[in-house]
A and B are shown apart, each in its own frame.
Chain A
Amino acid sequence: MLQEGGQMKRKLSFLIVLLLVPAVVLAGLLLFDGKQYAFTSAAVVTLAVFAFFLSFEKKENAGTKLVLIAVMTALSVAGRIVFAAIPAFKPVTAVVIITAIYFGREAGFMTGALSAVLSNFYFGQGQWTPFQMLTWGLIGWLAGLLAAKLKTSRVLLSAYGFVAGISFSLLMDIWSTLWFDGGFNLSRYLTLVVSALPHTLLYAASNIVFLLMLNKPVGKKLDRIKIKYGL
């Protein structure tokens, strides 16, 4: 009985999230005339992340799964801190992709989204946090979806890491533009993209390096642990 009550409550909160999206758009139009795009996108992105989280909460997840996600999140964050000295070399995306390939798309999303929150406790939270959460989360989710192919083909894996790196920058720049201009100013967007280009390319390339060098040894370890503990 108790169990069912919890399920109902969670279904209800899921519905509320869905209803909140149009409410947010309306509130943006009414309250923040002139900045409605920035407000609406921020609120909708937050709600999207929240909906993902609620669907994760809907299940009773095994302790092992929770701990695995916690470790992979901590690893990507610690990596971002330890290797902060090498510019643009951040293992976050690579760790998220590897988690997704070996533990599925849900673990990938959670690791990506939680890495964003957690690392921003060290590097500074800001209005960009929800956007980073959604973007890194989706990178993990998609990698989990393509897991079978990414596991076997090094070319596809590199391509995915590269595209993920580029899209992360392109998506974050969309948000910066919306926030600064209150609408989509193409010339500002292009300037942001072009001025960040060297960094973006280096970042995408570093993803490939990390993925190619990590995939095999880490994959072996993960498979071994799966067998050893019967996950």
Chain B
Amino acid sequence: MRAFSSLHPAVSMLHFAAVVAVGMFSTNPVIEVLSLAGGALFCATLTSPEQKKKDAVFYVFMMLAVVITNPLFSHNGVTELLFINGNPITLESVIYGCYMAVTAASVMLWFKVFGEIMTSDKIVFLFGRLLPQISLVLSMAFRYVPLIKRQAVKVSRAQKAMGLYSSEKVVDRIRSAVSVISVLIGWSLENAVETAKSMKARGYGLKGKTNYSDFRFTKTDFCFVFGCLFLLVITVSGMAIGKLDFYYYPSITAVPSDIYSLICYAAYGLLAFLPFTFESGEMIRWKYYKSRI
């Protein structure tokens, strides 16, 4: 039930880049909160209940750590609250810490869902046209990682069975690790050269070679791209003319709240909540169909 991940990879990529670039580098608190809420809700639709609990604990602690440590590093700001070791703790740096915490958490959440949505095959597909050789390298490496991991376990077991490096001492563990890597390099390189020969025999690099892909650009994708770009242009235009500017130092400025900035918030909010809405819409439709059976 992952409606969002059935979109064309380019569309997911565009949406992700738009939300994260603005959320990551804007200093406006409203934008940051919208980005965090959108990311957290989307993440919640994708993860299991236990994972949700774990994530919540992790992100709350991380945010608290950022809020507490920022005033210790940064003594900018004009409103002094108290002094520690002769250094002022300012209201502005506490608030800036909150802003940093929200931004950090939201960016990490968006990257987390991005990892769920953009699987390796999509990344390889996306960059395949522009960087065909590198995409090929990457997709081969993806294949080799589990292969090598499996072989590593085999080699290490064989070594243990022969009575080599069998103690739990750190020195022994390191020596074992090094010899496993050395064995693996020999083994996988021989494999690799065989692959390369086989590729050559089948005509890799000849003219007229095509790639297989099962991604299709549908009408939904088109609407999605159009919507994303529209919302992004509104938000960016607001940023370009300074409608979303917000400063923490030396003293906190007022949160912009004229009509133009409100429209920008609405546009960015829609952009950030788009995947969540899409996903829950699909879920509701699924439940509805199921109830009719």
Contact = CB atoms under 8 A, between A and B. Distances in A.
B207 interface: yes
B134 A57 contact: yes
B185 interface: yes
A32 B239 contact: yes
B115 A214 contact: no
A64 to B, nearest CB: 4
B145 A126 contact: no
A9 B107 CA distance: 34
A51 to B, nearest CB: 12
Majority secondary structure of chain A interface residues (helix, strand, loop or mixed): helix
B199 interface: yes
A185 interface: yes
Contact of A66 (B104, B140, B186): B140
A219 B142 CA distance: 25
By size class, the interface of chain B is 35 or more
A89 B261 CA distance: 50
Contact of B137 (A70, A79, A83, A231): A70
Contact of A34 (B21, B152, B247): B247
Contact of A214 (B141, B182, B195, B197): B182
A67 B192 contact: yes
A74 B21 CA distance: 30
B120 A57 contact: no
CB-based closest 7 A-B pairs: A74-B144, A70-B140, A32-B25, A78-B148, A64-B196, A39-B25, A188-B73
Interface of B: 21, 24-27, 66, 70, 73-74, 100, 104, 107-108, 111-112, 114-115, 120, 130-134, 136-138, 140-145, 147-149, 152, 170, 173-175, 177-178, 180-182, 184-186, 188-193, 195-197, 199-200, 204-205, 207, 236, 239-240, 242, 245-248
Given A78-B184, A180-B100, A214-B178, 9 more contacts: A13-B130, A63-B199, A68-B192, A75-B184, A82-B180, A89-B174, A121-B115, A214-B181, A221-B189
Interface of A: 2, 13, 28, 30-36, 38-39, 42, 53-54, 56-57, 60-64, 66-71, 73-75, 77-79, 81-83, 86, 89, 91, 95, 110, 114, 117-118, 121, 124-127, 180-182, 185, 187-188, 191, 209-210, 213-214, 217-218, 221-222, 225, 229, 231
